[in-house]
Amino acid sequence: MYDLGIASLSLSALSLFAGFKSHDENSSKERMRKEKASGKLGIALVGLGGYASGQLAPALTETSNCFLAGIVTGTPEKAEKWKKQYGIPESNIYDYKSFDQIKNNPDIDIIYVVLPNSMHAEYVIRAAEAGKHVICEKPMAITVDECDKMIAACKKADRKLGVGYRLHHDPYHLEMMRLGQQKIHGNIKTMSAGFAFNAQKGIWRLDKTMAGGGPLMDLGIYCVQAFCYVTGQSPISVTAQEGQKTDPERFATVEQSLTWQFEMPGGIKAEGFTSYADSRNTLKVEAERGVYELAPAFNYNGIRGNGPEGKFSFPAVNQQARQMDDFALSLIHKRPVRLPGEMGRRDVVYLQAIYQAMRSGQKVLIR
Ligand code: NAD
């Protein structure tokens, strides 16, 4: 679905191809044994769609603290392909019915939920009940109530819950956090961010029941996140306006586009834009002593940045590999998870406030 990083996609695909060998059951079991013996944690991916196959599985060939140990899929052909491609033993392949049996599998320490948004809650809760730590893709869930249940289930099972916010591991975004939070160019006055692409009909993203909303849930969440991590603050209130529906059939249940304005502490104004029928990929900060920005801002790679002192320049990284390694390290070293369920819940509160402001036409206070 996403096409955010042609360069790294083809690089990953190339390296995968170069190192590709078709594993048999014995070599797969031997691979598991070696990976575990090296101290790495095993991850099982649930839902082998675009993001899991295009980004996460290739990233797991580059991780140092975790590895691809298992898969959960409802499609036997996918199971067969992944088994051979990544060396996954038969005993580590599950479908949605046998999912709970993962509890008996010591190869798997972490379950990574990469399903449509409305399915996150059920599978995070079942993963915790199976005694596994969990990473959940964004948005964490489609309601705050679901987030509460997910957090409670992980607490009850004494398991960690993290959210797949990959940009916290990207050097360009880390630089924006440094500039903003340390006020390197003075106090921030205004911010703007936009993330939009064209989404076609026939996919769950355009179905409110499965996605929880439209582009705001999928893309606008990146702008919401950026406003928070660049300022290190939380929004106080929001106003929002739904864009015109030029394709009411395609956008029968969700917004086509949406603009919102956060009021942040210190008088900072932050305006976000998201759409499924447009193209936008920017993050801009106006501070007292200059402007700093990213464009494209939210890609898997190829991000570009500019500030009052010129262009930013950072080496390419694999965001997803860093993100999963960091989660694994937090388990290994028993330290708090950097992007926890509480942050995912917080963002769902903000997304719901934006929708409330959009529907009511009123300013909504965020608590
Ligand atoms: P996708 O449609 O490509 O994949 C979804 C997978 O879920 C498919 O393998 C599908 O077979 C499976 N599935 C199981 N039950 C299903 C059902 N009842 N209906 C539909 N699909 C079902 O989606 P995706 O792009 O991989 O997105 C999955 C999740 O990952 C979403 O929550 C999305 O927001 C998130 N995501 C995050 C990023 C990121 O950069 N962090 C990027 C893309 C997607």
Residue 20 has pLDDT above 60, yes or no: no
**Residue range 127-155, pLDDT digits in tens:** 999 999 999 999 999 999 999 999 999 99
Q: Is the CB of 184 under 6 A from ligand 1?
A: no
Q: Give the pLDDT confidence score for residue 221 in this predicted structure.
A: 98
Query: Does 126 contact ligand 1 (Cβ within 6 A)?
Result: no
Task: Tell me if residue 138 is catalytic.
Answer: yes
Between 16 and 270, whose confidence is greater? 270
Q: What is the pLDDT of residue 367?
A: 82
Q: Do domains 6-166 and 171-315+341-365 have the same CATH topology?
A: no
- Identify the residue whose C-alpha is closest to ligand 1 atom 43: 51
Which of 137, 203, 207, 222 has most ligand 1 atoms within 8 Å of its beta carbon, as the pocket-test mutant? 137
What is the predicted pLDDT for the residue at 23? 87
In this predicted structure, the answer to whether residue 3 has a pLDDT above a threshold of 50 is: no
Q: Which atom of ligand 1 has the smallest separation from the CA of 218?
A: 34
pLDDT confidence of residue 204: 96
Query: Do 193 and 269 meet the contact criterion of CB atoms below 8 Å apart?
Result: no
Q: pLDDT-based confidence at 253, cuts 50/70/90?
A: very high
Say if ligand 1 is within 6 A of residue 2 CB: yes
Residue 49 Cβ contacting ligand 1 at under 6 Å:
yes
Ligand 1 binding pocket includes 114 (Cβ within 6 Å): yes
When pLDDT is averaged across residues 109-126 and rounded to a whole number, the result is: 98
Confidence of residue 30 (pLDDT cuts 50, 70, 90): very high
For residues 242-270, average pLDDT: 97
Residue 305 pairs in a beta bridge with 294
Question: Given ligand 1 and candidates 46, 114, 134, which is best to mutate, with the most ligand atoms within 8 Å of its CB?
Answer: 114
Give the SS3 label for residue 69.
strand
Which residue of the set 86, 222, 292, 300 is catalytic? Answer: 222
pLDDT averaged over the chain? 94
Ligand 1 pocket check for 206: Cβ under 6 Å: no
Distance of CA 108 from the midpoint of ligand 1 (Å): 21
Question: Which atom of ligand 1 is least distant from the CA of 166?
Answer: 41
Domain boundaries defined on the chain: 6-166, 171-315+341-365
Ligand 1 atom nearest to CA at 217: 34
For 95, residues 6+ apart whose C-beta sits below 8 A from its C-beta are: 72, 73, 74, 79
Query: What superfamily in CATH does domain 171-315+341-365 come from?
Result: Dihydrodipicolinate Reductase; domain 2 (3.30.360.10)
The predicted structure's pLDDT at residue 292: 98
Q: How many whole angstroms from 74 Cα to the centroid of ligand 1?
A: 13
**What pLDDT sits at residue 4?**
52
Q: Report whether residue 138 contacts ligand 1, using a CB cutoff of 6 Å.
A: yes
Domain 6-166 -> CATH class = alpha beta
- Residue closest by Cα to atom 30 of ligand 1: 114
3-state secondary structure of 173: helix
- Give me ligand 1 centre to Cα 319, in Å: 18
Q: Which of 138, 165, 172, 276 is catalytic?
A: 138
Global pTM reads: 0.95
